[in-house]
Amino acid sequence: MQVTVGIHAFVIAAAIWAIALLSIANVPDREEVLDPAEGGKARAWREKMRDALAAWREPRTYALGVIMLGMAFAEGGANDWLALGVSEDHGGGPALGAAALTVFSVCMTLVRIIGGPLVDRFGRVAVLRLLSVAAAGGILLFILAPSMPLVFLGAALWGIGASLGFPLGMSAAADDPTKAAARVSAASTIGYIAFLGGPPILGLISDHIGLLNTLYILVVLIVASGFASGAAKPLPGTRRPDGQLVK
């Protein structure tokens, strides 16, 4: 059975709309995120905008943005360029290129599945630093590997390392419920700029210095993400998973 691109796009768009409407209908109102209590008075638009812009004046927002930027660059760069790097620069051909991207995606997904217990056990900062080491090491191995098995090992470490940077950055931005909406919006904006704009930038640079050499940029950004990981430490007054207050 053959399906045209137009029909495929229409079906996917309809599914997205259905999921979005279902999700919106089940989002609870919370006074902490500026939703007015039932029967209460809604806050003025100007006041909401002032609170939203205040997040951009906080150094922690930018530190979290660095965490998310580095990991978003790593994820977006892999999605767009990892398969090409295997198939052309490492001479593996299209089939091995697709297989390497699959390894990256599976490893990233598996770590995201078990990420919650890991963070509960070791804390955000330790997990982020460990994953930044895994991602940087994986990309370096991917670039320099002399054999295809090592290329695949690099892709696996790359996926593992890039797995939790973005979601943990979002979680850290939401520590204070009263300012969560503004801080998450600001930090995620930085991350999504990298996620969407990063791959085309890497492609433009690779035209001049080659794809594998371009990936060194990801290593630098991930190292910066690792150094900024301390910003993800829970804010004082928030509760740990064991119920204890952070001092």
Residues 6+ apart with CB under 8 A from 114: none
Total domains, the chain: 1
CATH number of the domain where residue 191 is located: 1.20.1250.20
CB of 213 closer than 8 Å to CB of 140: no
Whether 10 is in a domain gets the answer no
Burial 58-67 (b: 16+ CB within 10 A, else e): bebbbbbbbb
**Can you give the three-state secondary structure of 115-148, one letter per residue?**
HHHHHHHHCHHHHHHHHHHHHHHHHHHHHHCCCH
pLDDT of residue 53: 80
Whether 171 is in a domain gets the answer yes
Whether 40 is in a domain gets the answer no
In the chain, the amino acid numbered 151 is: V
Whether 226 is in a domain gets the answer yes
Residue 179 token pair: 């300012």
Cα separation of 100 and 141, whole Å?
13
pLDDT of residue 226: 92
Whether 59 is in a domain gets the answer no
- What's the alpha-carbon Rg for the chain, to the nearest Å? 20
Whether 11 is in a domain gets the answer no
* Span 104-163, pLDDT tens digits: 999 999 999 998 898 988 989 999 999 999 999 999 999 999 999 999 999 999 999 999
Tell me the whole-structure pTM to 2 decimals: 0.78
Whether 62 is in a domain gets the answer no
| Domain range for 203 | 77-232
Whether 196 is in a domain gets the answer yes
